């Protein structure tokens, strides 16, 4: 018997760095700490170097263009334009309001302001993170080329979401309010809501929402798709077959049922309304696309029902009242106020924005006195924050990237496409749409722990 050939070292190294990014960065407080930022840069550099060495040695195929390269290059150009020193007259023409915001920066006082960003240090820091994400996306696009690659990626995302859900629930139920039972975060706690390794509940549930559809897809793959008639003895035999697999020691169906239920249960216990909407979007879109391609079998419905029982049972024992009260309260609160502030920023800094990473300082200029002391680290809306920090140019670049991804998904979902490709694309599409829905209620594009999953899904599209 011949042994299966091993992948070249360069391929395994690329896979290693992508796996470390997917599983390791979320553990480091969602990647928002210094260690998380370091891990992001190291994994991006490691993946890029490994892929480059593989190309030099000829063990990896040639570069495959995916049509997003001009957009990524334009994004890099915009970031460079924000931080480099420009002639004062050019700065004034692109951002006339800078003179009003920085009245002391004149020739007779501190000197003339020469950058488009209001906080060069913050913009450089944000640019490094986004650049690392762009590198990981590019490498992932080169590595993920076949349906087998896509399926391995979906399984990895499902496992990551399941592990995060289990950890979050355990930390919440038997925790002491500290992350990992020893880290006392200065601004948040794990005592009242499930957060996992994320400091923000919205980021935690976004991570789970991104893994919901891949887990449902895996359940479909394990339990079988619809074939032939679903009536009478055939349906009975399929159910008996599923029970026989469990009895024979094949625990994958049971683990996936329970895992899917725990992911949704943990997401609801985060008490995030936008997150609950993202979970619902991922679940509904995934099921609709499965139905469209006639892949919903009795066994799949049985598995989904079992996952629903896990969710219902968990809520009935723990947290139903809190979840129901939270979901019934859709008062926008301060969101409308901060959205309005970002729209005003866009009016004053229309083309290039105030600079990446400057939102925490820029919004105060547009709020009344009582609210200026309250800190809004983000705009609670991704398109608005992109527009205020990067202007219309940055917003158009983001829209272009999103359009490309959705176009790729649509191509793979057309009728007549191989079923294996279609169901995998259904999971990818559902996850990306859930992310887009949540983006209108939160800003997640500076959270590496979530964005690494989005990057991997976009590469799968």
Over residues 87-136, the pLDDT tens digits come to 989 999 999 899 888 888 877 778 889 999 999 999 999 999 999 999 99
Give the residue from 130, 126, 119, 128 showing the smallest Cα distance to 358: 119
- Statement: residue 250 has pLDDT above 70: no
The pTM score is 0.90
pLDDT at 240: 54
Map out the domains of the chain as residue ranges.
140-230+247-335+370-460
Cα 209 from Cα 457, distance rounded (Å): 12
Contact 303, 239 (CB under 8 A): no
- Statement: residue 438 has pLDDT above 50: yes
Distant-in-sequence, close-in-space partners of 5: CB < 8 Å, separation ≥ 6: none
Which of 200-209, 344-353, 376-385, 450-459 has the weakest average pLDDT? 376-385
Residue 267 Cα to chain centre, angstroms: 14
| pLDDT range class, residue 377, cuts 50, 70, 90 | confident
- Statement: residue 249 has pLDDT above 80: no
Q: What is the mean pLDDT of the chain?
A: 88
Residue 379 is classified by DSSP as -
Contact 460, 424 (CB under 8 A): yes
Q: How many CA atoms lie within 13 A of 332 on its CB side?
A: 12
pLDDT tens digit sequence for 334-373: 788 889 999 999 999 999 999 999 998 898 888 875 565 5
* Segment 253-266 mean pLDDT: 92
Cα 166 from Cα 404, distance rounded (Å): 34
pLDDT at 228: 41
**CA distance from start to end of the chain:** 37
Cα 147 from Cα 220, distance rounded (Å): 16
* Segment 406-418 mean pLDDT: 90
* Segment 387-411 mean pLDDT: 95
Q: Which residue, chain included where needed, has tokens 């996306």?
A: 137
**Alpha-carbon dihedral sign for residues 325, 326, 330, 333:** positive
pLDDT at 243: 54
pLDDT at 435: 96
Give the residue from 358, 375, 378 showing the smallest Cα distance to 367: 375
Cα 107 from Cα 114, distance rounded (Å): 12
pLDDT at 230: 41
Neighbours of 317 (CB within 10 A): 8
Contact 275, 332 (CB under 8 A): no
Contact 73, 30 (CB under 8 A): no
- Statement: residue 305 has pLDDT above 60: yes
pLDDT tens digit sequence for 36-60: 999 999 999 999 999 999 999 888 8
pLDDT at 436: 96
């Amino acid at each position: 018997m011949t042994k299966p050939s091993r992948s070249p070292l360069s391929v395994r190294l690329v896979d290693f760095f992508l796996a470390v990014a997917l599983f390791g960065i979320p553990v480091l407080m969602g990647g928002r700490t210094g260690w998380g930022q370091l891990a992001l840069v190291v994994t991006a550099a490691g993946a890029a170097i490994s892929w480059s060495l593989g190309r030099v040695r000829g063990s990896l195929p040639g570069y495959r263009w995916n049509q997003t390269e001009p957009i990524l290059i334009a994004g890099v150009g915009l970031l460079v334009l924000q931080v480099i020193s420009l002639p004062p007259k050019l700065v004034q023409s692109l951002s006339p309001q800078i003179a009003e915001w920085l009245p002391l920066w004149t020739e007779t006082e501190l000197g003339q302001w020469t950058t488009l960003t209001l906080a060069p240090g913050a913009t450089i820091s944000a640019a490094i993170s986004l650049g690392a994400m762009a590198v990981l996306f590019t490498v992932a696009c080169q590595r993920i080329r076949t349906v087998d690659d896509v399926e391995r990626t979906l399984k990895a995302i499902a496992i990551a979401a399941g592990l995060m859900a289990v950890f979050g629930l355990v930390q919440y139920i038997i925790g002491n309010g500290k992350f990992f039972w020893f880290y006392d975060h200065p601004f948040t706690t794990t005592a009242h809501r499930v957060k996992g390794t994320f400091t923000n509940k919205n980021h935690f549930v976004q991570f789970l929402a991104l893994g919901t559809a891949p887990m449902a897809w895996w359940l479909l793959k394990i339990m079988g798709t619809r074939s032939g008639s679903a009536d009478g003895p055939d349906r009975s035999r399929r159910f008996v077959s599923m029970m026989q697999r469990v009895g024979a020691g094949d625990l994958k169906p049971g683990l996936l049922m329970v895992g899917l239920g725990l992911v949704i249960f943990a997401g609801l216990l985060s008490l995030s309304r936008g997150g609950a909407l993202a979970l619902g979007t991922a679940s509904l879109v995934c099921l609709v696309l499965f139905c469209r391609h006639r892949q919903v079998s009795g066994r799949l419905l049985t598995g989904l029902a079992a996952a629903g029982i896990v969710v219902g049972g968990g809520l009935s024992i723990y947290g139903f009242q809190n979840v129901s009260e939270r979901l019934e309260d859709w008062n926008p609160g301060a969101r409308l106020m901060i959205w309005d502030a970002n729209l005003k920023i866009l009016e004053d800094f229309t083309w290039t924005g105030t600079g990446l990473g400057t939102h925490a300082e820029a919004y105060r200029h547009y709020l009344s006195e009582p609210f200026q002391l309250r800190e809004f680290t983000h705009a609670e809306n991704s398109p608005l924050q992109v527009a205020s920090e990067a202007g219309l140019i940055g917003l158009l670049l983001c829209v272009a990237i999103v359009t490309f991804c959705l176009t790729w998904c649509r191509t793979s979902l057309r009728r007549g496409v191989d079923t294996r490709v279609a169901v995998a694309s259904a999971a990818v599409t559902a996850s990306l749409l859930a992310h887009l829905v949540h983006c209108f209620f939160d800003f997640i594009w500076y959270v590496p722990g979530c964005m690494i999953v989005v990057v991997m899904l976009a590469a799968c599209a």
